[in-house]
């Protein structure tokens, strides 16, 4: 038997798509303003202008709302860079992560989604899928670099990309160190040096 799609993910178009868009916009606004524990399904229905019955039937829980929002974010994320130079590509990736995490609205939204993932299994699975999609997108930069001979054969593209963003999220969630262009460039340079040295495989 095929697995059931995640709540809210069946989108044939027309009214269904408009309802999902309105609900997820209200969800994102609420997460950015109040955090995960501020998600109330009845209030989301009111903000989105949809019936509570519709919202409860299609999503059913705050975790399901957060999960579907993450799916939408993965679907609409920006494509990777194609500079023909791995270090520049990784720098672009790091700077995009920093811009997102330091944006007044997006930064709060990501913190709320991370908080949701820590206490809700459905949101956690969706967050894992989101990062898998984004890492897979940027992994092409490393695959191209292997083909150009910039980094050794056997370099793991997914691990290189993860090594770029890991210190940035660590700063966001643990140390509170400044997240700026310098931090982005340092993270990219470190990941690039490790890849060149053949230690990410």
Mean pLDDT to the nearest integer, 44-72: 95
Query: CA 108 to CA 35: how far, in whole Å?
Result: 8
Q: Where are the domains of the chain?
A: 15-62, 77-196
pLDDT, mean over the chain: 92
* Contacts for 22-29: CB closer than 8 Å, 24+ residues apart: 22/48, 22/49, 22/50, 23/48, 23/50, 23/55, 23/58, 23/59, 23/65, 24/65, 24/68, 24/69, 24/72, 27/65, 27/66, 27/68, 27/69, 28/69, 28/109
Residue 8: its pLDDT value, please?
Answer: 46
> Tens of pLDDT along 68-95?
999 999 988 889 999 999 999 999 999 9
- Name the CATH code of domain 15-62 (choices 3.40.50.720, 1.20.120.530, 1.10.10.60, 1.10.3210.10): 1.10.10.60
Q: Which CATH class is domain 77-196?
A: mainly alpha
> Tens of pLDDT along 169-185?
999 989 989 999 999 99
69 and 8 Cβ atoms separated by less than 8 Å:
no
The two three-digit tokens of residue 24, written as one number: 């997820």
> Tens of pLDDT along 99-109?
999 999 999 99
Residue 14: its pLDDT value, please?
Answer: 78
């Amino acid at each position: 038997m095929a697995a059931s799609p995640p709540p809210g993910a069946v989108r044939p178009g027309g009214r269904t798509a408009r309802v999902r868009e309105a609900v997820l916009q209200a969800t994102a606004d609420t997460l950015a303003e109040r955090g995960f524990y501020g998600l109330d399904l009845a209030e989301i229905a009111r903000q989105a202008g949809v019936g509570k019955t519709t919202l409860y039937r299609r999503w059913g829980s705050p975790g399901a709302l957060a999960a579907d929002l993450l799916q939408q974010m993965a679907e609409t994320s920006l494509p990777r860079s194609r500079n023909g130079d791995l270090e520049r590509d990784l720098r672009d990736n790091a700077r995009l992560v920093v811009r997102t995490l330091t944006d007044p609205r997006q930064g709060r939204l990501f913190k709320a989604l991370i908080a949701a993932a820590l206490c809700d299994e459905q949101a956690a699975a969706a967050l894992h899928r989101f990062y898998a999609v984004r890492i897979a997108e940027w992994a092409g930069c490393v695959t191209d670099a292997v083909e150009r001979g910039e980094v050794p054969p056997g370099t793991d593209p997914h691990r290189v990309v993860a090594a770029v963003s890991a210190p940035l999220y660590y700063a966001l969630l643990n140390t509170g160190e400044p997240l700026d262009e310098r931090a982005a460039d340092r993270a990219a340079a470190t990941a690039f040096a490790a890849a060149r040295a053949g230690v990410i495989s």
